[in-house]
Amino acid sequence: MARESGSKRMTESGLPIEPVYGPDALDGWDPAEKLGEPGSYPFTRGVYPTMYTGRPWTMRQYAGFGTAVESNKRYKQLIENGTMGLSVAFDLPTQMGHDSDAPIASGEVGKVGVAIDSIEDMRILFGGIPLDKVSTSMTINAPGALLLLLYQLVGEEQGVPAEKLTGTIQNDVLKEYIARGTYIFPPKPSLRLIADIFKYCRTEIPKWNTISISGYHMAEAGASPAQEIAFTLADGIEYVRTAVAAGMDVDDFAPRLSFFFVSRTTLLEEVAKFRAARRIWAKVMKEEFGAKNPKSLMLRFHTQTAGVQLTAQQPEVNLARVTVQGLAAVLGGTQSLHTNSFDEAIALPTDKSARLALRTQQVLAYETDVTYTVDPFAGSYVVEKMTDEVEAAALELMRKVEDMGGAVSAIERGFQKSEIERSAYRITQEQDSGERVVVGVNRFQLDEEEPYEPLRVDPAIEAQQAERLAKLRAERDQPVVDAALAALKAAAEGTDNVLYPMKEALAAKATVGEVCDTLREVWGAYVPTDAF
């Protein structure tokens, strides 16, 4: 949300916005160097030559709640309404590698996503959904390998070979230490697991996007646009270095890397942010890592509209916010998009609100003219100037991270977390003072809010999942499970790729919690340090 500081208008990144921009804003600016052509280095204008003129972006809707049965029903509704790809939300116990009947999971089962404890849940989640025809994104990080393998096993049961599976696991654990908190293992073994995933997918699931390096959660925690892309790209550099150190050629895995950003209501700066991020990443991959494949230089990204900007007050106003945010993502060149439902500041989306969120994307794609031409803002004095300024601010932050020894070392010192917390505090102060306008909250309020009936998750789900787990453990071949978990432990203690024994354990009906506990025995659990 745009703000004013005295008489001076400022961007979200704290950069001044001038009332008028002209050619002088771009003194010394070489269009050929800065822009190039769409689909070519440095990809400022987009990663594909035709962008949306051939087909629109992939329309995803992030969904998942309660049990696998309920979520499966929602997915089928979304597909019927025109969703091009599924995006799975998992509950907190699943994200943290705990079974639904674990004491620590009490009160959280099925609340913020679907509960997945074993292959049986995954089988139900995708029942009747052909995995060779749908692209699936899974927002899962520390236990990302487990959910990917469960997905592969369900695909095999459907008769779908792994080479035909398409989708993404988020698998970005570094941002968990920075902003989100759903980590399990310490950074070093977490990076080893990610390198194993890269290697496994190159051989076994070649069309799968092995990681979605995420700035979204940093932005939701309060990061400015410049901080969002700086810390995200710094994490990306750490992942590339890890894979190269593990013996992989950069061009063997870099084309499958993807990114995940937020889109705010400050449309001009968001467009500039996306352009700057593409340009920085292309240069890093070319100059630092020597990537030769043009696909290795492309920053392909998914976008989600800004949940943190949604309000519980006058929630229908969120429809306008989400439309502007979605438009910013499209004008910035996103490859896929999730538009938030207007009621998400209150509760899980209802069927109607989820459908309206999807319809918002469809209006942008089919009723406007933004898909008729590639990169509509190219050459805009204000957007090109903002792109340069956001790029410079991001590069300065990335230099600070490098000076500390890279993303992991900076995380261990609490640098990124501290910087984001300062930005979040500033935003809160500006909202409290009224300097930053939030419609319906600190200006244009109603005397009385209209009643709204939210979607509620049945608390009986927790007991139902516990019963399912008890039945699974009673009926499975326990010696086979024990042997498989022992093989996984041996691989974790050594240097073998852990995904192969992990798949065997999951196929034998080992649970998500049992697999993660086996790895915890070897690798330990992460304990955060104090802020920088």
**Strands 58-63 and 301-305, sheet pairing:** unpaired
pLDDT band at 32 (very low <50, low <70, confident <90, very high): confident
Say how far apart CA 377 and CA 387 lie, in whole Å: 11
Sign of CA dihedral 333, 338, 342, 344: negative
In 3D, which of 109, 72, 99, 69 has the Cα closest to residue 88? 72
| Chain Cα centroid distance, residue 445 | 33
Query: What are the tens digits of pLDDT across the range 170-180?
Result: 999 999 999 99
Say how far apart CA 40 and CA 51 lie, in whole Å: 12
Say how far apart CA 514 and CA 524 lie, in whole Å: 14
The residue type of 304 is Q
Residue 80 has pLDDT above 80, yes or no: yes
- Token pair of 32 as six digits: 């050929």
Peptide bond into 528 cis (omega under 30): no
3-state secondary structure (DSSP) of residue 105: helix
Query: What are the tens digits of pLDDT across the range 481-525?
Result: 999 999 999 999 999 999 999 999 999 999 999 999 999 999 999
3-state secondary structure (DSSP) of residue 89: strand
Please work out, in degrees rounded to the nearest 5, the angle formed at the alpha carbon of residue 24 by the alpha carbons of 18 and 29: 110
Say how far apart CA 268 and CA 263 lie, in whole Å: 11
Give the count of alpha carbons within 13 A of 451, CB side only.
1
- Token pair of 105 as six digits: 């999971």
Q: Which residues contact 387 (CB under 8 A, 6 or more apart)?
A: 44, 272, 275, 276, 279
**Residue 500 burial by Cβ neighbours in a 10 Å radius (0-12, 13-18, 19+):** middle
Say how far apart CA 460 and CA 66 lie, in whole Å: 10
Residue 365 has pLDDT above 60, yes or no: yes
Say how far apart CA 146 and CA 511 lie, in whole Å: 10
**Which domains occur in the chain, in start order?**
3-365+374-433 (3.20.20.240), 461-523 (no CATH)
- The pLDDT of residue 347: 87
Mean pLDDT for 399-407 is: 98
Residue 397 has pLDDT above 90, yes or no: yes
- The pLDDT of residue 157: 97
- The pLDDT of residue 155: 98
Please work out, in degrees rounded to the nearest 5, the angle formed at the alpha carbon of residue 270 by the alpha carbons of 237 and 253: 25
Are the C-beta atoms of 208 and 149 separated by less than 8 Å?
Answer: no
Say how far apart CA 215 and CA 233 lie, in whole Å: 9
- The pLDDT of residue 31: 76
List the beta bridge partners of residue 90: 114
Residue 132 has pLDDT above 50, yes or no: yes
Dihedral pair phi/psi, residue 252, rounded to 5° = -80, -25
- The pLDDT of residue 351: 87
Query: What are the tens digits of pLDDT across the range 258-282?
Result: 999 999 999 999 999 999 999 999 9
In 3D, which of 446, 500, 503, 492 has the Cα closest to residue 185? 492
Residue 426 has pLDDT above 60, yes or no: yes
In 3D, which of 516, 520, 511 has the Cα closest to residue 117? 511
Local structure of residue 377 (DSSP, 8 states): T
Taking the CB of residue 136, how many other CB atoms lie within 10 A of it?
A: 23
Long-range contacts of 439-445 (CB under 8 A, 24+ apart): 439/311, 439/314, 439/317, 440/311, 440/313, 440/314, 440/317, 441/311, 441/313, 445/313
Say how far apart CA 439 and CA 450 lie, in whole Å: 16
Query: What are the tens digits of pLDDT across the range 90-112?
Result: 999 999 999 999 999 999 999 99
- The pLDDT of residue 192: 97
3-state secondary structure (DSSP) of residue 343: coil
pLDDT band at 83 (very low <50, low <70, confident <90, very high): confident
pTM strictly above 0.75: yes
Mean pLDDT for 254-259 is: 96
- The pLDDT of residue 394: 98
Say how far apart CA 318 and CA 309 lie, in whole Å: 8
> Beta-strand (E) ranges in 96-199?
135-139, 166-169
- The pLDDT of residue 530: 59
- The pLDDT of residue 168: 95
- The pLDDT of residue 449: 85
* DSSP secondary structure string for all residues of 5-69: ETTEEE-TTS-B--S---GGGGTT--HHHHT--TTSTT-TT-SSSSGGGTSPPEEEEEE--BSHH
In 3D, which of 214, 81, 204, 245 has the Cα closest to residue 141? 214
Residue 1 has pLDDT above 70, yes or no: no
Residue 3 has pLDDT above 80, yes or no: no
How far apart, in Å, are the Cα atoms of 318 and each of 267, 304, 323, 387, 434?
A: 15, 14, 8, 27, 19
- Token pair of 66 as six digits: 């309660």
- The pLDDT of residue 456: 80
Are the C-beta atoms of 512 and 105 separated by less than 8 Å?
Answer: no
Are the C-beta atoms of 246 and 195 separated by less than 8 Å?
Answer: yes
SS (H, E, C) 65-86: CECHHHHHHHHHHHHHCCCCEE
Dihedral pair phi/psi, residue 169, rounded to 5° = -110, 140
pLDDT band at 532 (very low <50, low <70, confident <90, very high): very low
Mean pLDDT for 439-445 is: 95
3-state secondary structure (DSSP) of residue 245: helix
**Average pLDDT of every residue of the chain:** 94
pLDDT band at 61 (very low <50, low <70, confident <90, very high): confident
Please work out, in degrees rounded to the nearest 5, the angle formed at the alpha carbon of residue 222 by the alpha carbons of 390 and 279: 25
Lowest mean pLDDT among 7-11, 120-124, 165-169: 7-11
How far apart, in Å, are the Cα atoms of 194 and each of 299, 510, 517?
A: 19, 21, 18
Q: Which residues contact 482 (CB under 8 A, 6 or more apart)?
A: none
**Beta-sheet strand order (sheet of 58-63):** 208-209, 166-169, 135-139, 85-89, 58-63, 336-338, 301-305, 257-263, 211-214
The residue type of 70 is E
